[in-house]
Structures are given as C-alpha cells and as structure tokens.
A and B are shown apart, each in its own frame.
Chain A
Amino acid sequence: KQEVTQIPAALSVPEGENLVLNCSFTDSAIYNLQWFRQDPGKGLTSLLLIQSSQREQTSGRLNASLDKSSGRSTLYIAASQPGDSATYLCAVYPPLKFYFGSGTKLNVKP
C-alpha cells in the first residue's frame, strides 16, 4: 500500500525566506504527484501537478520537483510572504486512488 510522508509537520519562518517542503512516497509506480494548499476550514486548492514523466513544474514563486526513482518530491517557495501561511499537502496517483500526506503547516511571520 502506498504511504506518503511529509516532513516537517510544521514550519515557522520569517517573511522573505526561501523554504523547502518535502514529500516522500513508498511506491514509485505513480502517474502523477500534486501539491495542494489548504487554508483553515477550507477545501484543498491545487498548486502544481507533476506528471510521472516530468522532473519539475513552476508557477510563480513555487517550484516543485519530482524524483520518482527515489520516491521524493520537494516544493520550493521563494521569498515567502505571510499570505503563504497555510497547510501544504502532497498527493500521489498510483492510479485508481489518490494518496495524501498529512501535510506541512507553514507559518510565515511578518
């Protein structure tokens, strides 16, 4: 069974810092990996989707990389802002089901 782990569970940084969130998965046979943002009490908003044939995707200040063979993905956030404060989750699609990590709670201090 696929297991998805996110480290760290929580992270607090001052505004302006560059930071990296980690996601690891146990079975490398995936179709894609998605990164999401979740604000308190809300649903999940998709940030980036990386297909299994891709190595990375970029959107604005966000860059996600995928190393399927090692079962790892990283989400890089450049020049963090207080508005980036949220929980960030990754999910893999083996296929048929999506498997989610438990998330990294990010707090960016002004």
Chain B
Amino acid sequence: EADIYQTPRYLVIGTGKKITLECSQTMGHDKMYWYQQDPGMELHLIHYSYGVNSTEKGDLSSESTVSRIRTEHFPLTLESARPSHTSQYLCASSGAGNTIYFGEGSWLTVV
C-alpha cells in the first residue's frame, strides 16, 4: 500500500478565494507530480518535481503554482479560484523503482 496522502478530499469554495491542496508522501520519493482529471476524462500533468527546490510545469497549462521545500511535501496553490478550476486533482510520487503511486485525490468545486 502506497503512503501518499492528500487533503482535503473534498472542498467547495467561492470564486476568488485562495486555496492550497496538500500532498505528502512517506516513501522518501524524489519525484512528485500533480495531475488534473475531469470526470470520465484523461489525466493531465500540470506540475512535477524531481527533488527539493525543483519544480516544472507540466503538459497542461495551469494557473496553479507548486513548491517543494521538503522531500515529502508538494502543495499546490490556486491564488484566485475560478469555476473553471473545478476538477479532481491527483498527487503522485515515484522513486528509484520508477513505479508511480497515487493519492486518493482532491475534489475541488468552485462556485
């Protein structure tokens, strides 16, 4: 069982609010990822990190930002949420074995 945790699982917020989605893993993995997935649709990589102080934008343009100050922690922040940000956000990590593990996901609804 993978040890990767996301909070909150479900969140409803108003337009213009700032939100941070938390992601932590206890496996010591150097690589971490954020994916965005609308219901029934494919996964889109929005951010990734290969280690502390390393962050890159993914294939899908996103207005969110990430930070990687500690190995185990990879939070995603939306400075001003909009209804178009309503989606499921999935955090993942991988280590030397190159197996990717996912958290349970965070469902964000912006009203």
Contact of A42 among B41, B48, B94, B104 (CB under 8 A): B104
Stretch at the interface among B62-70, B71-79, B95-103: B95-103
> How large, as a class, is the contact surface on chain B?
20 to 34
- The answer to whether B45 touches A97 (Cβ under 8 A) is yes
Q: How far is the CA of A93 from the CA of B101 in the complex (A)?
A: 13
Q: How far is the CA of A42 from the CA of B39 in the complex (A)?
A: 10
- 28 inter-chain pairs at a CB distance below 8 angstroms, sorted by A residue, are A32-B98, A32-B99, A36-B102, A41-B88, A41-B107, A42-B104, A42-B105, A43-B90, A43-B102, A44-B90, A44-B102, A46-B2, A46-B100, A46-B101, A46-B102, A49-B99, A91-B100, A93-B98, A97-B45, A97-B48, A98-B33, A98-B92, A98-B94, A98-B100, A100-B42, A100-B43, A102-B41, A105-B40
A45: nearest chain-B partner, CB-CB: B102
A-B pairs, 3 with minimum CB distance: A102-B42, A43-B102, A44-B102
